[in-house]
Each structure stands twice: as C-alpha cells, then as structure tokens.
C-alpha cells in the first residue's frame, strides 16, 4: 500500500489493511512522516518516506496554524499549490526507493497522490494495481489560489492511470459516478469508510452504515 499520509490517523487505510490481514495476507504500507511512536496492528508493517519541506526552509515550521499578517497570508495562498506539489513529489521519490526492492503480489495506491507512483511500481513488478480514491481529487476543498492548468493536467493523469488499474474503488456512489463519467473508468466499486459493525446489529444500523 502507498499513501501520502502519516497513516497513524488514516482509518480507511488501516481498516482496509486489517481486512487483508484477516484474509491471511501480509501488508506493507509506505506512508509519509509516520510518528516514531506509532505501533501498527499485527500483520501490518509500515515504512515512511519524508515529504520534505517543499518551498519552506527546513528550519521553518508549518504556517498552517499560525495567525499571519495579510501579506504573508497572500504569499501562502499564492505559493501553496507549488509547495504541495513539491512536497508530494519528494514523498513519491522516497516511497519509490523504499518500495522498489520489495516483493509483493499486488499494489494498492491510496488517493491521487500515490496513483502515478503506484502505476509505475505495479508495471515494474508486473502486479495488479488497485486505485483507491478517497475523494474527488480535483473537486476537493482548497485553501489556495485557483489552479485550472494544474487541475486539467491532474485530471488527465488520473484518467490515464486509473484506467490501467485492475480495480478502482472509492467511498461513495457520487464519486464512483464521477470517476466513471469524467475519467472513463468502466466500473468503480464502492467501499464505504464506515464504523466497524457486525451482523448482530439491528438492520436499521447496518443500513445506515452502508451494509
């Protein structure tokens, strides 16, 4: 599994990995900047690649939670897309170095930020690729300037590599329909990011949870 998050709080990734472990598989997750004290569940190994510092000097902390003067808010709003792109690229480079020597039978790329890397590794290792879209990437809420050219480029990239996947899954019907219509993927499966539930629960609760 590839995911450009710290994994520790990513319940969707951990639940899916846990399901695979329950089926007798071993799962290796290559994440991003994983907390040193995080202990993964049994049967799951976690490797971490750094996202670097993007455009920010390595000595400077994140500006996300700081109250900034107007000129710095504008600079952050304007430069954030470039910063994020550089940071995700640094993670992908590090994740490739970690994942490339491994032996695996399938590759699960979580979200757009891991898709192109996942497609490359799946192709090089001749294994099936699963693309898991946690959200409609080009329609997500943002805190930076409009990026229409980047959006079109990312849409083409997503369409290209998602169509190469052995399976594409997402979190709900509306996003599944968007991926099928806008990205040209023939069939998308819905795997809800719901709370754990068992068969003894009332039918109304199972229905609300999507089971």
- pLDDT tens digits, residue range 2-55? 999 989 989 999 999 999 999 999 999 999 989 889 999 999 999 999 886 655
Phi, psi of 96 (to 5 degrees): -65, -45
Q: Is residue 117 part of a domain?
A: yes
Entry pTM: 0.83
Please report the pLDDT score of residue 69 as a whole number. 80
Residue 63 resides in a domain: no
pLDDT at 210: 45
Domain count along the chain? 1
Residue 64 lies in a domain: no
Which long-range contacts (C-beta less than 8 Å, at least 24 apart) are formed by 103-108? 104/28, 106/130, 107/1, 107/2, 108/1, 108/2, 108/16, 108/132
The answer to whether residue 204 scores a pLDDT higher than 50 is: no
Flag whether 141 is in a domain. Answer: yes
What pLDDT is recorded for position 58? 44
In a domain, 88, yes or no: yes
Sequence length of the chain is: 211
211 pLDDT above the threshold of 50: no
31 Rama class: left (phi>0) / alpha (psi -120 to 50) / beta: beta
CA angle 120, 190, 178 (to 5 degrees): 75
Is 189 inside a domain boundary?
yes
**Quick check: is 59 in a domain?**
no
For residue 24, what are the domain limits? Answer: 11-54+72-209
174 in Cβ contact with 192 (< 8 Å): no
Interaxial angle between packed helices 148-162 and 112-125, expressed in degrees from 0 to 180 and rounded to the nearest 10: 40
Q: What is the model's pLDDT at position 59?
A: 44
Mind listing the pLDDT tens digit for each residue in 103-158? 999 999 999 999 999 999 999 999 999 999 999 988 887 777 888 999 999 999 99
Report if residue 96 sits inside a domain: yes
Backbone φ/ψ region at 192: left (φ over 0), alpha (ψ -120 to 50), beta: beta
Q: What's the CATH code of the domain at 81?
A: 3.40.50.2000
């Amino acid at each position: 599994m590839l995911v450009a998050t710290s994994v520790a709080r990513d319940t969707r990734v951990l639940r899916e990995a846990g399901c695979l472990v329950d089926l007798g598989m071993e799962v290796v997750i290559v994440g991003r900047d994983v907390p040193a004290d995080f202990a993964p569940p049994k049967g799951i190994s976690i490797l971490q690649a750094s996202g670097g510092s993007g455009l920010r000097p390595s000595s400077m902390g994140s500006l996300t939670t700081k109250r900034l003067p107007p000129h710095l808010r504008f600079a952050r709003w304007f430069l954030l897309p470039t910063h994020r792109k550089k940071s995700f690229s640094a993670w992908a480079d590090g994740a490739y170095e970690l994942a490339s020597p491994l032996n695996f039978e399938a590759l699960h790329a979580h979200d757009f930020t891991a898709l192109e890397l996942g497609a490359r590794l799946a192709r090089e290792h001749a294994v099936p690729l699963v693309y898991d879209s946690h959200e409609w990437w080009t329609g997500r809420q943002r805190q930076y300037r409009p990026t229409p050219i980047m959006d079109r480029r990312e849409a083409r990239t997503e369409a290209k590599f998602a169509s190469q996947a052995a399976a594409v899954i997402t979190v709900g019907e509306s996003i599944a329909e968007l991926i099928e219509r806008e990205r040209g993927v023939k069939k998308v499966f819905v795997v809800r990011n719901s709370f754990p539930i068992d068969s003894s629960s009332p039918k109304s609760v199972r229905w609300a949870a999507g089971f």
